[in-house]
Amino acid sequence: MYDADLPKRKSVKKDWSKYVKSLNCDIIALQELNEYTPEKLAKEAKSWGHSYSALLKENGFPTGMTSKFPLRNLKKEMAGYHHGMLSCEAGGIQIYVIHLHPGHWEIRHQEVDLLLNTLKVYQSDTPVLLVGDFNTFSHRDESYYNQTTDLIPFFRRLDLRWNSNRNLRDDKLDYSHLRKFEEAGYKDLISERRKRFFGTFPTKLRPEEDNGPSRRLDYFFASEVLSEKCTKAEYLVNKKTDLLSDHYPAIAEFKLSQ
């Protein structure tokens, strides 16, 4: 399983597609598929060996998925989600492609609560994976953020720049969104396996922009039964991915019984 934001520049896009193909992933989750149609996504999916694809919508910041496996139980939910919610079953895993609200902690809580209520339908033995850009912070990274002196000032600037933004809760980072998933039994696959902290945003793609200090916004959260089958989960941070997107991609591997 591979997760990433799609690059915007055509000059970068060719290198990105080549890199994705080299990974030979069974399933790919994507965010910010701006200016895409289902036909365009399907064509690109075939270029990296995927016969199945789904696009959430054609406006705003769509999410999408491509797969070597058929996409079953496909759902496209818009009500209650700022960017919408795409979900399906592929390769024996029930997958939700996440892109939570980019600028308001309270709206993100509403989205998280809505999703968690939906997830209650699954039995404890159902492999469920939540993957994508959660736009929020993990308490598992708190010690790192406490050493990052410009993070709170950056979000103060950002919230002033965009009057509707409320990234900070009482002038602090809100760690409680992701705690809700953990309390519901979902495992942060990468934090449980990493040897050091890696932020997923920003990359080195747009150094001229004020995007703030490095932070982890992209996650794999797996149900306990799926977490036990995870053999690898990491961020792909290297010289290639430095310049392929404004977010670093994540990859996870699972050993599933056939």
The tens digit of pLDDT for each residue in 220-229 reads 999 999 999 9
For residue 230, pLDDT beyond 80: yes
| Angle at alpha carbon of residue 37, lines to 31 and 39, rounded to 5° | 115
Q: Average of pLDDT values for 124-134? A: 97
Mean pLDDT for all residues in the chain? 95
Q: Could you give the CA distance from residue 112 to residue 174 in angstroms, rounded to a whole number?
A: 13
Give buried/exposed letters for 38-72 (b at 16+ CB in 10 A, else e): eeebbebbeebebebbbbbbeeebbbbbbbbbebe
CATH number at residue 99: 3.60.10.10
Whole-angstrom CA distances from 150 to 1, 85, 140, 153, 197 are 33, 32, 19, 5, 17
The tens digit of pLDDT for each residue in 169-205 reads 999 999 999 999 999 999 999 999 999 999 999 999 9
| Global confidence as pTM | 0.96
The residue range of the domain holding 240 is 2-254
User: Which residue type sits at 31?
Assistant: Q
- % pLDDT > 70, the chain: 97
Q: Average of pLDDT values for 140-159? A: 95
**What's the total number of domains in the chain?**
1
Beta bridge partners of residue 96, listed in sequence order: 87, 130
pLDDT at 78: 97
For residue 95, pLDDT beyond 60: yes
For residue 163, pLDDT beyond 90: no
Q: Average of pLDDT values for 236-252? A: 96
Q: Could you give the CA distance from residue 75 to residue 56 in angstroms, rounded to a whole number?
A: 9
**What Rg, from alpha-carbon coordinates, does the chain have?**
17
